[in-house]
């Protein structure tokens, strides 16, 4: 990894992996993954079909759902959909477009996931195809709350499922990675 540019951390400067390095990591040794996978203890990434199967969510012990494709024009499983369950809901109305700014949702979603886990719950994060929006939000959670770098977070998730956030989301995650690294270097 190039250490020549970016926020200073002690004597070295940090540069997050490039988009091409991230794509190489994410596309390496892909294998079939199912409609949902546990990618971090008690954190699942899955698809819209699984999100709409309340019996399956109940059998998995899911207590919190993040819909990364929320809203009537996408997957409308808002809080009313889960009203007859004990599931807490967090919706993000995000198209899977490289031009969409997903970054304003990174911290609120990371806080929601963290809160669910802190309560001993299980969190199911989904979008339509389970590879871009949901993956980007889980990577942001791992970076913000679990203090992993973007590369570390991507490697952890990739152990359990194929993911491929679009190039715009990857760029936003790179910026988050640099920002968090700078903030953490000044904490010391």
Mind telling me the catalytic residues?
A: 127
Torsion of the alpha carbons at 183, 167, 164 and 140, rounded to the nearest 10: 20
CA 99/CA 112 separation, integer angstroms: 25
CA 4/CA 160 separation, integer angstroms: 32
- In this structure, how many other beta carbons lie within 10 angstroms of the beta carbon of residue 157? 22
CA-derived radius of gyration, the chain? 16
- In this structure, how many other beta carbons lie within 10 angstroms of the beta carbon of residue 84? 8
CA 9/CA 185 separation, integer angstroms: 5
């Amino acid at each position: 990894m190039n250490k020549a540019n970016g926020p200073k951390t002690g004597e070295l400067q940090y540069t997050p992996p490039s988009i091409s390095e991230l794509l190489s990591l994410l596309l390496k040794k892909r294998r079939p993954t199912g409609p949902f996978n546990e990618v971090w203890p008690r954190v699942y990434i899955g698809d819209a079909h699984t999100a709409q199967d309340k019996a399956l969510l109940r059998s998995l012990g899911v207590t919190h759902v993040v819909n990364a494709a929320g809203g009537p024009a996408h997957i409308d499983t808002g809080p009313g959909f889960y009203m007859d369950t004990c599931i807490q809901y967090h919706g993000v109305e995000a198209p899977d477009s490289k031009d969409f700014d997903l970054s304003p949702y990174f911290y609120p979603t990371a806080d929601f996931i963290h809160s669910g886990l802190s309560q001993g719950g299980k969190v199911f994060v989904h979008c339509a195809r389970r590879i871009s929006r949901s993956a980007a939000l889980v990577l942001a959670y791992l970076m913000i709350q679990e203090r992993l770098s973007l590369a570390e977070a991507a490697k952890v998730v990739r152990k359990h499922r194929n993911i491929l956030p679009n190039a715009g989301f990857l760029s936003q995650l790179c910026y988050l990675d640099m920002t968090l690294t700078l903030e953490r270097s000044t904490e010391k």
